[in-house]
Chain A
């Protein structure tokens, strides 16, 4: 059970809830929160008006979306306010809820006059045998994330910063009222809402916004204010929103307005003409802002399938990614990977590989691919098309490629006699995948890495390749594939990502295609819960002797933060400092200074909370190389590195982040990964997170690392005999 008010459910709250989910999953516990419908300040300071970041309904909806099993809501009353801390714990936490695990933030207070705190909780839970986890506060920018800080930002109009801390734009919702039609008279029809009672009032002025209405999201401009030019005596602010490029009839409809950027404060104009001119200028400015912002947002939902849109005019190529995700057993990994290859090989409209390839080549080099990936125990199947949005003859290769993608998924090249996928296609794709899997071992470094991963994860699916094991691939049957296909169509989480120079007709076309998918209640993955944790297996050291010129070495360390933890920033920087690129300790010391290896680098395994180090080493230098590599890890833990290493690593990471902003596919991949980890952030915030990492945080992160698995591939049998103490 997590305890707190969770107003706005900002990133700090989300960290707490995800920690709870991550702990409850493996323990088989029901995850829940206990919270109040009204803020205690309402009762304790009734004369001081309290403004909420979100309504109760919004809070519960967000908690539900995160995957919480239960939410216990109580009204905060004077009677509850008078309850002593001990009574609160005994009667509610232990008595009514029978909590076995509590998750709180470091500042959590409870009981009359806030007499209860984390110290008391520690004592009490210790006595009761209840597990207590105190989640560190999440710091972003100059201080910790708190609801009060966010309220202030909104009141000052800094909705961008507020969104960074919340993890989503601040929004205001309500029912559109019939107004004086002044906007329409001026040439800019608006949908008007009253300011919702009890919610934080933003600074009065003009904002770039998005509007969710009638099942879609629209780019818009919003004025929040008293309308001093036309209503000098007005005292109650009104929200007036003009939606770009859409003539919607919204009177009586419920809409939600997301505040994205503050443009200018409200002001009074001398005349309607001057007002009209200013509105026109505001419209142009906000339209340009939307065009250049290149933000990815949920455009609409087709059944259970969200369609995310990232519009950009800088590129000629558009992309559509259909991302299926599921928790998979080892056999399902193989089945799904084979299914994806079979589906994209051919379809009824273009039966045969050559016809498919010809169709794509005729679309000016469009590509249609499937890719199987894995994050922990979650398999991701991405079916994607990339194609030019428009050709000089006015045609849209992209639109045609999207049609082909849906033909592939919905109208596969079926064997009518067997009512199954064609055997010849299945067998050739099976052979292709098997060969690819086996051929990985031709690359000695990959072989070493795969072996290390397998030993690190033990028997768990986390350690398997994304396409599964050869023994499973060989035995997948026709019926298995059919079952996999049904699961793809009905039983996997699915999200669609559309990016590039995509106009409204193209978007509508994609929506129409998504509508062709069978309607299903698809499961949702919840970061914290899934992907699930994978504690490292027992420590081991494995030496294999083969005929190789160069020895290969793999070291796997655990102890890094969970994939959903906000404290992932220090781990990212640590990896870059240790072995991320040519500036790193491993490259500079092991390769350049000591000449012990040509190839040496590290890679973090976010979903395993681990870090792997890989090296190709001359056999006679193996012992020295292993020792030296471990010493570099020790240097980080001991703080024996200079600031130049920190700065160079930060610069490289930030440069790479900025580069991602110049590539649609990279941006879409960031979105997919952000949602899988629950740490979706705009590029600006990701950059700031790296900038804010301190030396001390890196050292603390390094000190948590423990070497669990060592794998050596060598040509010299004598290496097998030597035992090495684990550092």
Chain B
């Protein structure tokens, strides 16, 4: 790491060069507390910016000072919509389009991510985008205008068998934890959201010191810092103090083992979920440790459930899964689960074979050759990701939430061994931890 002197606007920075990728990463701390990471891409036309906010769908209750704050389900997602809400100029998206910039955002369980990319007029677009993020309009009129759009979005997901299957799974895995609720909330909870809810959420979770900003592209850094500084000065909000998320007590095991829904589908779907009991004091982990857990889970899943694995091959050969099959491991200080599944003409049998296969893997251990190959693949994929301004920027943006630099990943991978990796996911061996969710054609 190299200290960079002479950054304007009171910023402090460090530059880091990575020998594996040949790229550099500059980490800058603004006096407001905002952290900015910059991935330079000399000679590239495209520029990318992302802001990660550690406020997601599960943050419905928190302790703030001596009081407790309760927010309706779907508040994080609603707030994301409000940043883009329409005005006479077409809203943020419309204004950015006038500069040739394309913006989007998503909300997930534990964070919200805003991002945009452009080829020209980046600083103008950056200013517009950042101002919308730091000073969104959250009045009742805006809330009323946004509600039908969000309701329509939720309604659309009701027709989506993938979304319905995932939702079933979460309801089976979790009894009380807010992760069981759809990220967008419910029709009732969305209807109940007020401008005050949104303002409170914004005040508690969107302070600049909580934001992680990532830029990727070919920039005049001083000039971009100038825009950043001006936007932060204009926003100028006092720090609200920490808001500590609170979660209800949650049983270690799933509340319902088998879930099924009939829908108008041509091909059935299946998912299995495995609940992580969260016994390991993960709340106190630092960024590198969190990243290690994340990457470890990814390696284990790829070893057990990607096309390289005998289990995958057997299921594929027997026609129980197809290319739609996927898996992911989601976790946080308060929850964790593995979910995997896809399309299948024999969903119950696919789910059964998958459960049996995972249990057998826990007994037999991970194939070391396959595990080693996954590490090589992961290292290569990181280098490949950095070929793209947007992809590289997005990888760093997500890593910032932990927080780590993406250049930390290769050394993290190096230290993971298959025995230790599997032990981290020892809950896979517990048949009681499993839930099956099926979506089948209407009889």
- Does B378 have its Cβ within 8 Å of any Cβ on chain A? yes
- Does B137 have its Cβ within 8 Å of any Cβ on chain A? no
Chain B residues within 8 Å of A98, by CB: none
- Does A514 have its Cβ within 8 Å of any Cβ on chain B? no
Known: A358-B373, A432-B316, A616-B156. A581 touches B442 (CB 8 A): no
How many angstroms between the C-alpha atoms of A709 and B86 in the bound complex? 32
Query: A439 near B94 (CB under 8 angstroms)?
Result: no
Query: A655 near B118 (CB under 8 angstroms)?
Result: yes
Interface size class of B (residues with CB under 8 A): 35 or more
Question: Which residue on chain B has the smallest CB distance to residue A425?
Answer: B317
Query: A588 near B119 (CB under 8 angstroms)?
Result: no
Chain B residues within 8 Å of A664, by CB: 387
How many angstroms between the C-alpha atoms of A664 and B101 in the bound complex? 21
Which residues in window 102-152 of B have CB below 8 A to A? 102-103, 117-120, 145, 148-149, 152
Chain A residues within 8 Å of B4, by CB: none
Question: Which residue on chain A has the smallest CB distance to residue B318?
Answer: A428
Question: Which residue on chain A has the smallest CB distance to residue B379?
Answer: A364
Tell me how many residues of A have a C-beta within 8 Å of chain B.
69
Option from B44, B155, B265, B384 in Cβ contact (under 8 Å) with A316:
B384
- Does A638 have its Cβ within 8 Å of any Cβ on chain B? no
Chain A residues within 8 Å of B225, by CB: none
Q: Which of B8-16, B157-165, B245-253 contacts A (4 or more CB under 8 A)?
A: B157-165
Q: B348 to chain A: closest CB distance in Å?
A: 16
Chain B residues within 8 Å of A546, by CB: 264
- Does A593 have its Cβ within 8 Å of any Cβ on chain B? yes
Chain B residues within 8 Å of A428, by CB: 316-317, 319
Known: A444-B159, A592-B86. A424 touches B97 (CB 8 A): no
Chain B residues within 8 Å of A391, by CB: 380
- Does B20 have its Cβ within 8 Å of any Cβ on chain A? yes
Chain B residues within 8 Å of A292, by CB: 43
Option from A436, A443, A598 in Cβ contact (under 8 Å) with B152:
A598
- Does A652 have its Cβ within 8 Å of any Cβ on chain B? yes
Q: A590 to chain B: closest CB distance in Å?
A: 11
Q: A583 to chain B: closest CB distance in Å?
A: 3
Option from A432, A439, A583, A598 in Cβ contact (under 8 Å) with B156:
A598
How many angstroms between the C-alpha atoms of A427 and B322 in the bound complex? 12
- Does B45 have its Cβ within 8 Å of any Cβ on chain A? yes
How many angstroms between the C-alpha atoms of A682 and B379 in the bound complex? 34
Which of B19, B269, B378, B380 has the most A CB atoms < 10 Å from its CB? Answer: B380
Option from B19, B21, B307, B387 in Cβ contact (under 8 Å) with A357:
B307
- Does A141 have its Cβ within 8 Å of any Cβ on chain B? no
Question: Which residue on chain B has the smallest CB distance to residue A397?
Answer: B380
Query: A314 near B43 (CB under 8 angstroms)?
Result: yes
Q: B21 to chain A: closest CB distance in Å?
A: 7
- Does A131 have its Cβ within 8 Å of any Cβ on chain B? no
Q: A363 to chain B: closest CB distance in Å?
A: 7
- Does A435 have its Cβ within 8 Å of any Cβ on chain B? yes
Q: B7 to chain A: closest CB distance in Å?
A: 27
Q: Which of A54-62, A71-79, A547-555 contacts B (4 or more CB under 8 A)?
A: A547-555
Known: A392-B20, A547-B264. A361 touches B387 (CB 8 A): no
Query: A354 near B387 (CB under 8 angstroms)?
Result: no
- Does A127 have its Cβ within 8 Å of any Cβ on chain B? no
- Does A338 have its Cβ within 8 Å of any Cβ on chain B? no
Query: A364 near B94 (CB under 8 angstroms)?
Result: no
Query: A651 near B376 (CB under 8 angstroms)?
Result: no
Query: A317 near B264 (CB under 8 angstroms)?
Result: no
Option from A317, A364, A427, A598 in Cβ contact (under 8 Å) with B387:
A317
Which residues in window 395-444 of A have CB below 8 A to B? 397, 424, 427-428, 431-432, 435-436, 438-439, 441-444
How many angstroms between the C-alpha atoms of A364 and B379 in the bound complex? 7
Query: B155 near A549 (CB under 8 angstroms)?
Result: yes
Known: A435-B345, A655-B100, A658-B120. A582 touches B160 (CB 8 A): no
How many angstroms between the C-alpha atoms of A222 and B344 in the bound complex? 62
Query: A441 near B266 (CB under 8 angstroms)?
Result: yes
Query: B117 near A659 (CB under 8 angstroms)?
Result: yes
Query: A431 near B94 (CB under 8 angstroms)?
Result: no
Q: B55 to chain A: closest CB distance in Å?
A: 23
- Does A485 have its Cβ within 8 Å of any Cβ on chain B? no
Query: A583 near B90 (CB under 8 angstroms)?
Result: yes
Which residues in window 288-331 of B have CB below 8 A to A? 306-310, 312-313, 316-317, 319, 322-324
Question: Which residue on chain B has the smallest CB distance to residue A618?
Answer: B152
Question: Which residue on chain A has the smallest CB distance to residue B87?
Answer: A592
- Does A144 have its Cβ within 8 Å of any Cβ on chain B? no
Query: B310 near A548 (CB under 8 angstroms)?
Result: no
Query: B389 near A581 (CB under 8 angstroms)?
Result: no
Option from A387, A588, A597 in Cβ contact (under 8 Å) with B94:
A588
Q: B120 to chain A: closest CB distance in Å?
A: 7
How many angstroms between the C-alpha atoms of A303 and B436 in the bound complex? 55
Option from A358, A363, A593, A595 in Cβ contact (under 8 Å) with B380:
A363
How many angstroms between the C-alpha atoms of A658 and B217 in the bound complex? 13
Chain B residues within 8 Å of A317, by CB: 383-384, 387
How many angstroms between the C-alpha atoms of A312 and B383 in the bound complex? 16
Option from B322, B384, B389 in Cβ contact (under 8 Å) with A662:
B389
Q: A578 to chain B: closest CB distance in Å?
A: 14
Question: Which residue on chain B has the smallest CB distance to residue A650?
Answer: B100
How many angstroms between the C-alpha atoms of A515 and B377 in the bound complex? 30
How many angstroms between the C-alpha atoms of A592 and B374 in the bound complex? 45
Chain A residues within 8 Å of B102, by CB: 581, 652, 655-656
How many angstroms between the C-alpha atoms of A439 and B22 in the bound complex? 43
Query: A364 near B377 (CB under 8 angstroms)?
Result: yes
Which residues in window 9-40 of B have CB below 8 A to A? 19-22
- Does A451 have its Cβ within 8 Å of any Cβ on chain B? no
Chain A residues within 8 Å of B159, by CB: 444, 548-550
Known: A618-B152, A652-B102. A659 touches B373 (CB 8 A): no
Q: A667 to chain B: closest CB distance in Å?
A: 12
Query: B322 near A432 (CB under 8 angstroms)?
Result: yes
Chain A residues within 8 Å of B308, by CB: 354, 357-358, 361
Known: A316-B386, A595-B148, A655-B119. A548 touches B264 (CB 8 A): yes
How many angstroms between the C-alpha atoms of A436 and B323 in the bound complex? 8
Type the 1/0 row for B62-104, where 1 means its CB is closer than 8 Å to any CB of A: 0000000000000000000000001000110110011111110
Known: A439-B266, A550-B156, A598-B152. A648 touches B343 (CB 8 A): no
How many angstroms between the C-alpha atoms of A441 and B442 in the bound complex? 14
How many angstroms between the C-alpha atoms of A292 and B118 in the bound complex? 21
How many angstroms between the C-alpha atoms of A69 and B125 in the bound complex? 53
Known: A363-B380, A428-B319, A588-B86. A581 touches B97 (CB 8 A): yes
Question: Which residue on chain B has the smallest CB distance to residue A549?
Answer: B158
Query: A599 near B156 (CB under 8 angstroms)?
Result: yes
How many angstroms between the C-alpha atoms of A362 and B374 in the bound complex? 8
Chain B residues within 8 Å of A654, by CB: 100, 119-120
Type the 1/0 row for A663-698, where 1 means its CB is closer than 8 Å to any CB of B: 110000000000000000000000000000000000
Question: Which residue on chain A has the smallest CB distance to residue B158?
Answer: A549
Chain A residues within 8 Å of B45, by CB: 658-659, 661-662
How many angstroms between the C-alpha atoms of A435 and B324 in the bound complex? 9
Query: A361 near B377 (CB under 8 angstroms)?
Result: yes
- Does A366 have its Cβ within 8 Å of any Cβ on chain B? yes
Query: A424 near B373 (CB under 8 angstroms)?
Result: no
- Does A535 have its Cβ within 8 Å of any Cβ on chain B? no
Question: Which residue on chain A has the smallest CB distance to residue B314?
Answer: A354
Query: B86 near A439 (CB under 8 angstroms)?
Result: no
Query: B98 near A361 (CB under 8 angstroms)?
Result: no
Between-chain CB contacts (< 8 Å), 25 pairs? A316-B383, A316-B387, A317-B383, A317-B387, A354-B313, A358-B369, A363-B376, A365-B379, A392-B20, A428-B316, A428-B319, A436-B322, A443-B160, A546-B264, A548-B159, A549-B155, A581-B102, A582-B103, A583-B94, A595-B149, A598-B152, A616-B156, A649-B97, A655-B120, A664-B387
Given contacts A354-B308, A582-B94, A598-B156, 9 further A-B contacts (CB under 8 A): A358-B369, A365-B377, A365-B381, A366-B380, A388-B384, A441-B267, A595-B152, A656-B102, A663-B387
Give the 6 A-B residue pairs with the shortest CB-CB distance, closest first: A364-B380, A583-B97, A365-B380, A655-B100, A651-B100, A598-B152
